[in-house]
Structure 1
């Protein structure tokens, strides 16, 4: 679910007027000055907000870049430093822990982002070591003070004596005796996530397939656009410089540049949406239903990506989509996403789908995009791996179960439910579906892969599981159920 955390950063300082500057009197407005090294300052402020306020980098970083007027190469550097430090935080922390005289856990929370930024520059960029240390310590003097910057300088100089491969050989547990611990440090994941992903893949902890998945989480994901049905086409996006998508008939890949610069995105005729997210929604629309097919429901619609796609398809079929979202702010985002769909087929409402305002059996097609651990989107939200715990899934399970139960109740006999999570974690996916169906006799599984024939190697039994290292998408899970 989307985080709405506010950033803790302060506005850029404005310089004082100088003699001979043309200012007339003390009341004259001071001319603004450009902050020194704005890219590293932005990266530091985002990392600190993520650490201290649970902010999401994918929301905070673009907002901070816009507010501070950071563009071009500085914006690119800030993005690389921010996401690089977050993705490899586990690896860097193991290395930093070996370079401090005390436990890394005792290091001041204001100092940690400086150390992680410096480690990333030293170990995973082409920035020369002396320049990486110098620039990072210059930043440190401004954000944590001269005394603590000397400590950071000493630690980073120790880091600089080895490259990344040499350091991981030193700090990672032995692969033969502790394969989970080895992969956790090598690919920067908490141990419990390594174990959960191995189970989801059906692989041993030391398998090559698991290692490819963990490595994929640390790669920069491509930007995928969706052409909203009836409002834009893939051909429009290709004409603007994008590349046609591999699987979804509505997808195009943006090879470079800012999505906001794409005309169709500015006009809300297209949006950024992972290809797997498009396909799980599309699969729901492809399952045949007998009788009426005019009333569709998205039970957890925020922030509105799948709802917009469903509304476009519904409008082309003379159907109508009701998009429900429990949080008013997110419901506003849904309303913006579905506005001006074909025949105005989408309508957003503030509603708690676990306590529905609609009658049972009211809908022909129902989507449940359930709140989950988000382990399928670690490429895009790398900080999620550090804020989730092995107890998170257990905390979410009652809500997931309740939503799926209510979805089946809301569906008429012969109608179809799509249960979706952006997580491959078994307790949230196949095990959850099996648990719900074990207590009901009014629903049956529909083989999901039959409705996504364009995607190879996606079947997980009767369900569908996308993978970053196989499909280049988020690890979305899909189960299709027919109401009997």
Structure 2
């Protein structure tokens, strides 16, 4: 163990060292020279003398703090900010792992930690400076869910605050975190919920999900043929640090370098691997784009649309369309498969900056296989009707199926997002069908299990059209999986689950344009 007290993640909490604190008042105790006055035996900074207190920011904790600040103040995504901050501060593999667990853990558990902190601060959390609140969340995660000794969690978090926020706020942070350390996480949960009888509220606090998402996921389980009592397993899976999934672009890349770096072969789909993480950017195959980070659920749905037989006589030179291609992960896999099949791919993306990401993702595939179009996907069906043999419509959605990989999303999304996205999803699916040839196949995909974004959209479109029929999506997934039996199918659609398949909660519906 180093001076910052790191041991790695643990599901259990750590108790405090029993020192008293002066409470969470945050009032000034400075003398005329600006120095803190001695407050007697209950002084709350730490057990150390002033000359022994940490006054610098530990680099790994600083990275985590910067990630939380970017997420809160810039609406950034943690998975994009974190690697850049790790490289900026030159963290080694061990410190990078600590920063990752601290960042993602504090973001995932934010709702639970805020409920704890609300009992330890004498004002509404909304009245705290956002930077102070982020520091408190980082300290709470170390105290309650990591194998960091209480004295190290306190000392290092206060040192971070002194370095980047100021000496005054560090006093408040020290006092509040001492109160947090007085109970373990199970003890805090029992205390917070001792008079609570509402099951949704209990699940929300215990599993750090907003109440509306708990209800939505329970409804989603039932809608896709699974028992509602699996909700606890699903919420737990959302909170587990996901294994990094890799894919080698078929016919272009291989996984040799990944295996040399400790990865293991994927069990669900060909050309995939499971990585323990670390700085994957150090791998040349990752930098070159021949091996990519991609959830196995995304790999499966992309392969499924390619594997389905067309409803017309086979021909040569098939044309494929990725209607909503940004940022390009599925497009790269589709392009590599298209190259093997003698097909070509049009990747459509409405935003230029995301289209640039698509081009970068496709860069490892020879350029005569693919083209990028910048434009509204709703216009493709009008401009190029009856053109494509295979169409992937991975539409914008709430992302409720990827909460384990995007921990900040659960606190950003609202029920209104579902209502706002519904019309767009229907328009894109109709455009995809219009763009398909007679006999062509359309895959409607979301990274959300919510029925408002999945079955309701497909049912609405099918009710209003007579030129399309549904194909068994569960069978299509089974056909491209290594197991041959995923058990994801339900009433011709298919739904993958984190707690069942160790994938994101990807939804797939397959439609065939009638010849």
TM-score by length of 1: 0.89
Corresponding position: 1:431 with 2:456: yes
Partner of 1:39: 60
**In structure 2, what is the equivalent of residue 354 of structure 1?**
378
Give the Cα separation in 1 of the matches to 2:379 and 2:98: 46
Equivalent residue for 1:326? Answer: 350
Partner of residue 183, structure 1: 203
| Correspondent of 1:219 among 240, 243, 252 | 240
1:61-210 matched pairs, under 5 angstroms = 61-172=82-193, 177-202=197-222, 208-210=229-231
The aligned counterpart of 2:427 is 402
Question: Does the CA contact (< 8 Å) of 2:246 and 2:294 recur in 1?
Answer: yes
C-alpha deviation, 1:456, in angstroms: 1.9
SS at match of 1:414: strand
Deviations 1:426-447 (A, max 9, x none): 1001111101111111111101
Secondary structure at 2:379 match in 1: coil
RMSD: 2.0
Structure 2 residue aligned with 1:244: 265
How many angstroms apart in 2 are the aligned matches of 1:283 and 1:428? 20
Contact 1:234 1:249 in 2 (8 A): no
Alignment of 1:290-329 (within 5 A): 290-291=312-313, 292=315, 294-329=318-353
Counterpart in the other structure of 1:339:
363
Q: CA deviation at 1:452?
A: 1.8
1:354, CA displacement in angstroms? 1.2
Inter-partner Cα distance in structure 1 for 2:164 and 2:276:
35
SS in 2 for 1:444: strand
Q: Given that residues 284 and 417 in structure 1 are in contact (C-alpha distance below 8 angstroms), is that contact kept between their aligned partners in structure 2?
A: yes
Q: Please give the secondary structure, in 1, of the residue aligned with 2:346.
A: strand
Q: CA deviation at 1:343?
A: 7.4
Q: Are positions 1:444 and 2:465 aligned together? A: no
Count how many residue pairs are aligned between Structure 1 and Structure 2: 450
Question: Cα distance 1:364–1:426, how it changes in 2: closer, same or farther (>3 A)?
Answer: same
Asked if the contact 2:395–2:446 (Cα under 8 Å) also holds between the matched residues in 1, the reply is yes
The answer on whether the counterparts of 2:77 and 2:408 sit within 8 Å (CA) in structure 1 is: yes
Indicate the SS of the match to 1:271.
strand
8 A Cα contact 2:57 2:159, kept in partner: no
User: Secondary structure of the residue that 1:111 maps to in structure 2?
Assistant: helix
Equivalent residue number for residue 479 of structure 1: 509
1:364 aligns with 2:389: yes
Secondary structure at the aligned position of 2:130 is classed as coil
C-alpha displacement of 1:223 = 0.7
Asked if structure 2 preserves the Cα contact closer than 8 Å seen for 1:46 and 1:61, the reply is yes
Contact 1:230 1:312 in 2 (8 A): yes
Q: 1:129 to 1:468 in 2, by over 3 A?
A: same
CA shift, 1:241, in A, is: 3.8
Extract unaligned runs of 5+ from structure 1: 1-34
CA distance in 1, matches of 2:194, 2:329: 41
How far 1:208 sits from its partner (Å)? Answer: 4.1
- In the aligned structure 1, how far is the partner of 2:185 from the partner of 2:364? 51
Unaligned residue ranges in structure 2 (runs of 5+): 1-55, 479-483
Whether contact under 8 Å (2:221, 2:228) holds in the other structure is no
